[in-house]
Chain A
Amino acid sequence: MAGLGDCPAQNPLPPRERVAPKAPGEGARKDPGTPLTLPRSAWAPPSPGAGEGKTRRLELRLFLAQRLSAMVLAPLVLLHLGVILYAVRGGLSAAEILGRTKGSVLWGGLYGLFVLATAAHGSIGLRAILREWTRRPHLADTAALLFAATALVLGFRAVLVLT
């Protein structure tokens, strides 16, 4: 039985000349190398919640900062809890704690980083919640900046006292 490839009796057309596969680049259509992409504005209406330009970049940077600060906070919170448990269970006095932290670059650095991450993470998170609840972006921005400033001042004051 004839294979599917050769059935001349049923094919009124003259047999086509088989074209040998060409080497890449030879005769093939020129590959432009860049993806064929339409700008989003060409096919989609602007997303209602999406800002354009600077606003959009700011939102993306804040999202990035939120995630990065979360990554910093996760181990620091565990460390902080560990420190608290250790200090309380060991019955360390305030003087003993200060004796260990005063002048310590390590503790100062770790808690300084903790304060920075907390201020960033907390304020961006509060901003997101306020934007969603109040639908007043300016109010959310102001409140978030105030929160960040307060967290930074109180946090670094504590770090300075301890180290």
Chain B
Amino acid sequence: MADLVVNVWRGEGFETFRVPFLESQTVLDVVTWIQRHLDPTLSYRFACRVGMCGSCAMTVNGVPRWTCRTHVSKVAKDGRLEIRPLRNMPVIKDLAVDMAGFFDKWQEAGGRFVPTRPGVLEFARVDPENPERRQASAGIECIGCGVCYSACDVVAANPDYLGPAALNRAWTLVNDARDGDRIGHLAAVADDAGCHACHSQGSCARHCPNHLNPTGAIAGLKREVFRALLKGDL
């Protein structure tokens, strides 16, 4: 089979590389091959190579993806790949983006577990099948890759927006029976930069490599904020 033609973003434009096509090759393999054989100055980020760490996400042929689990044969169009850094985050160099702002927003969204009363000595009994726990259990599978954040048009339009990943994290805590500050978590996301900014376009859910549903999480946050307001808790 003919070589792959790979256009890679280099900051001031694309640079074209020819990479041998191999069976079962991932996009991360292609980028690594370029760096090892053609241009050692190419910068990109990866760690685990098996879809656990969330560091290798890039925009491949216009779509944000985890490159280590993306097979070239599934995404190449006529033997061509266009690889850019993720959208909505400042580019450090080539394919590596600065994710600090992305993770700062997890803090802003109140994405921290808040312990309950210090006097509680018993284990919290949590039924894994209860609806709240199921919501939380689904959401905590997030690997923090930034694909949803990159896919979100609301983030693109409003840089203050906390984004799908941070709000998904907040939703897991709102549903965590052990967390001691449910209302505090709701208050942290109940504003223009929080869950109310979501347009429910669903790009986050569509592109999430772990098939999570941040759109559903954000809808859940809106619903719970509404309930808390009705009860006078907010």
Contact = CB atoms under 8 A, between A and B. Distances in A.
Interface in A13-42: 28-38, 40
B119 A31 contact: yes
B224 interface: no
Interface string A41-76: 001110111110000100110011001000000000
A29 B230 contact: no
A7 B36 CA distance: 57
A1 B54 CA distance: 47
B188 A35 contact: no
B190 interface: yes
Contact of B117 (A32, A44, A56, A128): A32
A49 B191 contact: yes
Which applies to chain B's interface (DSSP): helix, strand, loop or mixed? loop
Contact of A40 (B121, B184, B192, B194): B184
Interface stretch (B62-70, B88-96, B104-112): B104-112
B190 A35 contact: no
Contact of A60 (B116, B121, B190): B190
Nearest to B106: A44
Contact of B191 (A33, A56, A132): A56
Nearest to B192: A49
Contacts of A51: 191
A45 B108 contact: yes
Interface residues of A, number: 29
Interface string B202-234: 000000000000000000000001100110001
Question: Looking at A35, A40, A64, which has the most chain B CB atoms within 10 Å of its CB?
Answer: A35
A128 B191 CA distance: 11
A40 B112 CA distance: 10
A107 to B, nearest CB: 30
Contacts of A44: 107-108, 110, 188
A45 to B, nearest CB: 6
A44 B104 CA distance: 9
B124 interface: no
Given A31-B117, A36-B118, A49-B191, A43 B112 contact: yes
A144 B94 CA distance: 45
Given A28-B121, A32-B118, A35-B117, A50 B194 contact: yes
Given A47-B160, A49-B192, 6 more contacts: A33-B117, A35-B117, A47-B193, A60-B229, A64-B226, A64-B230
Question: Which 7 pairs, one residue from A and one from B, show the smallest C-beta to C-beta distance?
Answer: A49-B193, A31-B119, A35-B180, A49-B192, A50-B191, A48-B160, A49-B160
